[in-house]
Chain A
Amino acid sequence: MTAASLYDAVVIGGGITGAGVARDLSLRGLSVLLLEKGDYGAGTTGASSWMIHGGPRYLEFDWDTTRLSCQDAGHIVTIARNLVYRVVFIIPVLPHDKNNIERMETAMEVYDRFQPLKKSHPHRRLTPAEALHVEPGLAPDLVGAVTMEEWGVDPHRLVFANVQDAVAHGARALNHTRVSELVRDAGKVIGVRYRGADGAETEARARVVVNASGPWSPEVAAMAGAHVELRPAKGIHLVYPHRISNFSITAESIDGRDLLMVAHGGFTLLGTTDDDFYGDLDSVDVLADEVDYLLQGFERVFPAIRDYRPVRATTGVRPTLFKWRRYEDELSRRYRVIDHASDGADGLISIAGGKLSMYRLMAEETADAVCRKLGHPSRSQTANRALPGNESDVVPPGELAARCGIPALAAMKLQSRHGSDAEKVLDEGGTSRLLCRCEPVTEGELIYATRHEQVRSLADAFRRVGIAAGPCAGAACILRAAEVVGRELGWSAAQRFEAARDFVRGAWLGRAPVLGHAGWAQEELAQGSMRGLLDGSR
C-alpha cells in the first residue's frame, strides 16, 4: 500500500451530484479527491430521462421543489449551453384521461409562473386539429392538447464537464476506483481506503469525507456506522435510436401515472417506471412487463409506437428520501445534506435524494456544509461560471466541418459534446476519419477521450462520445473502437477482442428485453458481422 495523501475533502460517488460537489469545492480552492467505483455518470445519472426539467408534477404536492428545480435549471442551462437543447412537449388530453383539458391547462398556467426561471417559453393550447397538424402521429380521438417546454441534456457529458472543471482547478478524479473502507480515528472519519483500476490499495486522508453515492449512500454511510435512509425506486426507459415524433409527448399509464416520450437530438427516450426497489443495486434488470407497461401507455396516444424498433432499455435506481405510506410517484424529490456528527461519525457528510435538475444547488449546499466544517468561509461560484467548452460561442458547424474535413453533421455533434473545444479535440486525435457512423463520432474524438477523459473501457467510450449509441448498436463500429482505444491504452490483440466482447455482453442486458421481431432479425445480422462476439451470452 502506498502512503496516504491528505485532502481537504474526499468525495465518494462520481454521478452528477458527486462531480458537482467536487467542482464546487475545488473552485473554492480546496484540495479534493473524487472517487467513482464504476464510470462517471454510469449509475442513476445516466439512466435518467436526460432532462433538466422543473417538474410540473410536483405542483400537486410540493411547489417548492418545482421552484427550486426551475431556478437551478436556469443556472445549468446558462453554464452548459452546448449540452442543452429545448424539448417541447405536447400533452394530449384523451376522452377518459385523469385530467380534462381545463385542469391540464390550469396546471400549465401555474407552471408558466416558474418557466422564466429556466428561460423557457409559456405553454400553448391546441385544438385537436392543431395538435394533429403539428403531431400527426397522435391518436385521432384527442380532445385537445397543451404544450410545455423543458430542456434536454446529455447527462454523461454534463457529469464529465463537472469532473473536467474540478480537475482543471486542482482536484484529482479517479474512475473505476472503489472505496473499500472509511478510515476512522476515535469515531471520527479521517479518510478512505480505496482500490484503484490497477488493483492497488491506497489510503487517502481527508478533513471531510462526502458521501454522494446516490442509491449506494446507505451502504457507504454504514461503513462508518452512520445511517442514511432512502426509499430506492427503480425506473426504466426504452431508447429508440431516432427522433420518432415531431415533439415530445406525454401519456397516461394504465395506473394513471404520467409517462414521457422525450424527443432528444437524434433519439427518443420513452419512460419511465417508478417502483420500490429492494434488490442488488449493482445488478438491476429490465423486465419484459415493464417494457409492455410503457408501450401500453403510449399506444393510446401514439398508436404507431409498436411499429418502431427500440435499440435498448436503460435502468437505474433513484435515491429518493425515505417516506412511509406514499405511492412511489408521490414521493418528494427533495434532498437532504446530512452531517453524521450526530451519528457518531464526525467528518462524514452525506447528500441524499434530489434530482438531476437541481444537482448544482445540491452540490452547492453540500459544499457549504463542508466549508462550514472546515472553517473555510467561501461562496459557491458554480451558478454563473461556465463549464468547459462554454467559455465562448461555437463557430458554425459548416465552418468547422470545412476546416477539419469532416461532415457538417459530425461537426455539429462534436460541438454538442465539446462546445468551443471541438477543434482542439480533433487536433489532438490527429485524424478526422469517422469511426462510429451512426452517431457520428470521429476517430480523433475517441483518441482524445482515451487520452484526456479517462476512457478505460468501451462502455466508458459509449458514455463519453456516444460510440455504438445509434441504430446499429455497435455492430459496425465496436471492433474498430476497440482497436483505437486498445492502441492508446496498450492492449494486446486478445485484450482488444475481449474488450469488444465485454461491451457487447454488457449491452445485451439492456437489449434483450426490447427486441421484437425486427430486432431479432437485426441481431442475427449483427451476430454475423460481429464475428461471434455475442457467443454464449444470448
Chain B
Amino acid sequence: MARADSLVKLAFAYGVHLTRRRLTRGRPQVRALLDTSSADGMRALDRSERERHPRLVTCINCGLCALAAGRLGKTRLPDLASSYMRLYSRLGEASSDVEGETPDLAAAAAVCPVGLPLEEVATVVRRLSRR
C-alpha cells in the first residue's frame, strides 16, 4: 500500500514538474552550487589538474623525498603528498603549513620510487589552500 501510495505521489509530482518546465525557462544554477560548496571550504580541481590527478596521488609515504630535500614551508615532503594532497575540503584552514620556502622539489621527485611529480603536487596544494 505504501508503495502504491508513493508511486502515485511521485507520478503527480512528475506531472507538475513537466508542466512547470514547459511554462518556465530554467536559469543557470552552477553559481549557486559553487557558492554553497565553497561555504564549506571545498575548492575544486580544474580540468587539467583533474586529468593529471591520478598521477598526483600515488605517494606511499616511503619517506625517501624527505632525505633528498628539505621542507615546503613547515611541511615535510612526504606529508605534502600523502596528507595534504588528500584534498581535505577545509585545506584553506591549513594554508600556513605550506607557505614559505620551496626546497629542491626536482631532486626530491627524482628519488621517488613511484615517480610522483612533487613540483606539480606542491602547486596544486598551494593553490587549493590559498585563503
Name A's B-contacting residues (CB within 8 A): 59-64, 85-86, 88, 102-103, 105-107, 109-110, 121, 124-127, 130, 133-137, 147, 149, 241-244, 246-247, 263, 265-267, 304, 307-309, 396-398, 401, 407-409, 412-413, 434, 437-440, 470-472, 475-476, 518, 521-522, 525-526, 529
**Chain A residues within an 8 Å CB radius of B47:** 136
Contact B75 A407 (CB under 8 A): yes
How many angstroms from the CA of A23 to the CA of B35 in the assembled complex? Answer: 38
**Chain B residues within an 8 Å CB radius of A529:** 62
Contact B17 A242 (CB under 8 A): no
Most buried by B among A134, A397, A438: A438
CB of B60 to closest CB in A, whole Å: 5
Known: A61-B2, A64-B2, A438-B61. A86 touches B40 (CB 8 A): yes
22 contacts between A and B (CB under 8 A): A61-B7, A62-B6, A63-B2, A85-B40, A88-B37, A88-B42, A105-B17, A110-B9, A124-B30, A133-B30, A134-B33, A136-B47, A241-B86, A242-B85, A409-B91, A437-B61, A438-B79, A439-B83, A440-B83, A471-B60, A472-B59, A475-B60
Binary contact track B32-44/A, C-beta < 8 Å → 1, others 0: 1110110010101
Q: Is B13 an interface residue (CB 8 A)?
A: yes
CB of B48 to closest CB in A, whole Å: 9
Known: A126-B30, A130-B30, A308-B54. A412 touches B85 (CB 8 A): no
Contact B60 A88 (CB under 8 A): no
The residue in chain A whose Cβ has the minimal distance to the Cβ of B74 is: A407
Contact A470 B83 (CB under 8 A): yes
Known: A61-B2, A105-B17, A470-B61. A266 touches B86 (CB 8 A): yes
Name B's A-contacting residues (CB within 8 A): 2-3, 5-7, 9-10, 13-14, 17-18, 21, 26, 28-30, 32-34, 36-37, 40, 42, 44-47, 50-51, 53-54, 57-63, 74-76, 78-79, 82-91, 93-97, 113-114
**Chain B residues within an 8 Å CB radius of A109:** 13, 17
The residue in chain A whose Cβ has the minimal distance to the Cβ of B29 is: A124
**Chain A residues within an 8 Å CB radius of B74:** 407
**Chain B residues within an 8 Å CB radius of A521:** 114
**Chain B residues within an 8 Å CB radius of A266:** 83, 86-88
Q: Which of A136, A246, A439 contacts B51 (CB under 8 A)?
A: A136
CB of B57 to closest CB in A, whole Å: 5
CB of B29 to closest CB in A, whole Å: 4
A-B contact count (CB 8 A): 181
Shortest beta-carbon contacts, A-B, top 6: A266-B86, A307-B54, A472-B61, A124-B29, A246-B44, A409-B94
CB of A133 to closest CB in B, whole Å: 7
**Chain B residues within an 8 Å CB radius of A102:** 14, 17-18, 21
**Chain A residues within an 8 Å CB radius of B45:** 136, 246
Contact B6 A59 (CB under 8 A): yes
A308-B57, A397-B93, A398-B96 given; 6 more Cβ-contact pairs under 8 Å: A60-B7, A88-B37, A106-B17, A246-B42, A413-B88, A525-B113
CB of B115 to closest CB in A, whole Å: 11
Known: A86-B40, A134-B34. A408 touches B96 (CB 8 A): yes
Known: A106-B10, A137-B50, A397-B94. A242 touches B60 (CB 8 A): no
**Chain A residues within an 8 Å CB radius of B113:** 525
